[in-house]
Every structure is written in structure tokens, then in C-alpha cells.
């Protein structure tokens, strides 16, 4: 499996458990496996849904700011990687 950096966590909202992510390279889509990596963060999640400006979108590309529901806590500065099956 290959991991490709696609973005960075900008903010984390604890109550809805949502990460605000800036996509910096490539794209991610609903159904993709992504990995969050930081000083104290290291887990993999599958994108169940994502939003841009409070509207559900099927995919996001470089330059987008998106909200993604996450299963664990993330922190600003954590890197987001897309897991690409070999």
C-alpha cells in the first residue's frame, strides 16, 4: 500500500468529531481510506462523508477546505495521507 500526502488538519471540532482539512495535493473521495499522522495522532479512517461549505460533496481536490467525520481526535498540523492500494 502506498501513502500519498493529500492535506493537513486545520481545526478539530470535538462535539461532532469533525476534522477541518485543507487539501494541498491530489484529491480524496467518499470511500477512500485516509491516514491521520502527527505527534500523538496515528490512525486510519474511511471517508464516510465530507462537506464543503456545509454541503455534502463526493470528492475534494487541491485547494478545497473540507469537513470530514473522524473516528478519533486529530490536531491542527496533523498530516492527512490517502492510502492507495497496490
First to last CA, the chain: 5
**Residue 42: other Cβ atoms inside 10 A:** 11
Residue 64: is its pLDDT beyond 90? yes
Domains and CATH numbers, the chain: 2-84 (2.40.30.10)
The DSSP bridge pattern shows strands 27-29 and 79-84 to be unpaired
Query: Mean pLDDT throughout 75-80?
Result: 98
Q: Three cell numbers at 60?
A: 475534494
Tens digits of residue pLDDT in 27-63: 999 999 999 999 999 999 999 999 999 999 999 999 9
Ramachandran class of 16: left when φ > 0, alpha when ψ lies in -120 to 50, beta otherwise: alpha
Amino acid at each position: 500500500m502506498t501513502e500519498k500526502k493529500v492535506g493537513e488538519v486545520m481545526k478539530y471540532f470535538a462535539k461532532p468529531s469533525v476534522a477541518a482539512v485543507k487539501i494541498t495535493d491530489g484529491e480524496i473521495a467518499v470511500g477512500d481510506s485516509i491516514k491521520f499522522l502527527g505527534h500523538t495522532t496515528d490512525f486510519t479512517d474511511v471517508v464516510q462523508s465530507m462537506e464543503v461549505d456545509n454541503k455534502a460533496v463526493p470528492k475534494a481536490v487541491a485547494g478545497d477546505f473540507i469537513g470530514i467525520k473522524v473516528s478519533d481526535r486529530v490536531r491542527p498540523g496533523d498530516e492527512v495521507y490517502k492510502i492507495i492500494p497496490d
